[in-house]
Structure 1
């Protein structure tokens, strides 16, 4: 995994993510293999994505966030309510 993001980098990524719409939804079935694959594909294509995690249990959303980040080797940029902003550098560019 890449080095931890600096505060400056996080602020820049938050600004870039502001206008984005969620491209992945984690629904009632939680973190499934298809959600992981979709997230991985979206990160490969865009580097910076928003993910919407449905459900009202905050602790469960945090657990899903941590598991998803680990599964796709991404870093959490921001977590506001049910929205996550994830970033993974695309080394192919």
Structure 2
């Protein structure tokens, strides 16, 4: 569980990254989950965008993806959300905030 200070720190880091995955009208598929899981292991902090043709609610989608990838929702704004999960092998982000 992230503290408010850790969440604020991660939000600041997320400002400078682009969305690396997109959820479209098919919703949260196995392929999307695999891509997100791999990206979380490699980068720890990722931004996901929900396309306009998707019927998913951003916060609901963020919570569902976080549950399925065992990650934490950092923020959900508009049609984008940010996820964080500490890498098992090569941690790059230090959360001693």
Q: TM-score if structure 2 supplies the norm length?
A: 0.85
Q: Which residue number in structure 1 is paired with residue 73 of structure 2?
A: 76
Stretches of structure 1 lacking an aligned partner (at least 5 in a row): none
- Distance in 2 (CA, whole Å) between partners of 1:60 and 1:48 is 21
Q: Which residue number in structure 1 is paired with residue 30 of structure 2?
A: 33
Partners of 1:74 and 1:87 within 8 A in 2: yes
Partners of 2:58 and 2:77 within 8 A in 1: no
Q: Number of aligned pairs?
A: 90
Structure that is richer in helix per residue: 1
Stretches of structure 2 lacking an aligned partner (at least 5 in a row): 91-97
Residue among 39, 44, 64 paired with 1:42: 39
1:10 and 2:7 aligned: yes
Q: Which residue number in structure 1 is paired with residue 95 of structure 2?
A: none
Q: How far apart are 1:79 and its partner, in Å? A: 0.5
- Distance in 2 (CA, whole Å) between partners of 1:81 and 1:73 is 23
